Amino acid sequence: MQHKILIIDDDCDFVDATKLLLEAHDYQVLTANNGQEGFHKVKKELPDLILLDMMMTYKTEGAETAKAIAADAAVKDIPIIMITGARKEHSFSFELKPDNDKLPIKAIMEKPVDPEDLIKKISFFLSKKSSEHYENLSMIEQLIKKWEGKEGNLIMVLHEVENHYGYIPRDVSFDLSRCLGIPLARIYEVISFYHYFKLEKPGKHVISVCMGTACYLKGSPQLLKEIKNILNIEEGEVTKDGMFQLSSVRCLGCCGLAPVIMIDGKIYGNLKPGDLLEIISKYNNQTVNVA
């Protein structure tokens, strides 16, 4: 399978030289010379990897394009290698750092880019993707065979994918679109219509804070605030290391123990904010914020 790489850069010399290099390594290459055109091509062509220039018409154009990609569910997991000639300038780290964890930037390379290093990085990110991709494909083929010709088969296939991964990975949606001949936009329409389907990988440990009336009156908002502090995440988010997911729920059915939280199905009751660090630390010592 020939991988598709999109170069978004306004430096024609760099684009021409990199295109030649990548084609010589059997990659299909697409190009765009600004962030807007680049984002349009990302959506239309669904490349396997993006080389994105940091500074184009204006100095944060690359970062803003990366943010737009990260905000779009259909393309947010496409790996990006950020290319820059401005890394030594303060603006670069300043602009990228705040949201860097949420952007799909896998590597940052400075111009002049070492061709050998670039090819090494690209093949690393794509081969990693390929092994997952083949696993996905064989599972999808089996699911399609199982539900072929049956009414509502897309939803049934999505349910099985959700049960298998715990969410619907973007690559799987993409493969489903190809294998079933259904537009990707239609698949995302279905996924976003049903609350059951998730687009984000769930955390290893799920913490649910009860916000039912009894728990609320006995202090669950303070528990929620303290957990957010400890894990440094908001409700609905997963910690950076994927260990914890935080959510709130309505009445866990044990109001006599209010206020209550549940971690992976285990109930902790009669809690005070000061009890939480110790409880959460039992599940993982790395993630918690002890400061």
How far are the Cα atoms of 143, 165, 240 from residue 232, in angstroms, in the given order?
38, 25, 9
Decide if residue 260 touches ligand FES (CB under 6 A): yes
Alpha helices in the chain (DSSP H): 12-24, 35-45, 61-70, 90-96, 115-147, 153-165, 170-180, 184-193, 213-217, 220-231, 276-283
The CA-based diameter of the chain, rounded to the nearest angstrom, is 70
CB of 221 to ligand FES, least distance (A): 12
Return the closest-CA partner of residue 107 out of 124, 89, 82: 82
Please report, as residue ranges, which positions from 222 to 241 form the binding site for ligand FES (by CB under 6 A). Answer: none
Pick one of 18, 126, 212, 238: the residue that binds ligand FES (CB under 6 A). Answer: 212
Of the residues 93, 127, 213, 289, which one makes contact with ligand FES according to CB under 6 A: 213
Query: Among the candidate windows 59-67, 117-125, 176-184, 254-262, which touches ligand FES by CB under 6 A?
Result: 254-262
The first and second tokens of residue 171, run together, are 């690559």
Looking at the Cβ atoms of 62 and 212, the one nearer to ligand FES is: 212
SS3 247: strand
> β-pairing, 261-263 with 266-268?
antiparallel
251 binds ligand FES (CB under 6 A): yes
CB of 179 to ligand FES, least distance (A): 44
Residue window 151-190: x/- pattern of binding to ligand FES, with contact defined by CB under 6 A: ----------------------------------------
- Of the candidates 161, 258, 271, 276, which one interacts with ligand FES according to CB under 6 A? 258
- Does position 73 bind ligand FES by CB under 6 A? no
Exactly one of 17, 119, 179, 214 binds ligand FES (CB under 6 A); which one?
A: 214
Q: Which among 244, 154, 161, 248 has a CA at the least distance from the CA of 198?
A: 161
Copy the structure tokens of residue 66: 């990366």
Cβ-proximal residue to ligand FES, closest one: 212
147 HSE (CA, 13 A, CB side): 19
Shortest gap between Cβ of 243 and ligand FES (angstroms)? 25
With contacts defined by CB under 6 A, name the span among 34-42, 96-104, 124-132, 205-213 that binds ligand FES: 205-213
Q: Is the CB of 128 or the CB of 250 nearer to ligand FES?
A: 250
Binding status of residue 215 toward ligand FES by CB under 6 A = yes
Instruction: Count CA atoms closer than 13 A to 136's CA, side-chain side.
Output: 22
In the complex with ligand FES, which residue's Cβ is closer, 98 or 265? 265
The answer to whether residue 279 forms part of the interface with ligand FES (CB under 6 A) is: no
**Using CA atoms, how far apart are residues 194 and 281, in angstroms rounded to an integer?**
34
Q: Which is nearer to ligand FES, 120 or 225 (CB)?
A: 225
Side-chain half-sphere exposure of 270, counting CA atoms within 13 A: 2
10: CB partners within 8 A, 6+ apart: 33, 34, 53, 56, 57
Binding residue (CB under 6 A) for ligand FES from 254, 263, 277, 279: 254
Q: Which residues bind ligand FES (CB under 6 A)?
A: 210, 212-215, 251-255, 258, 260
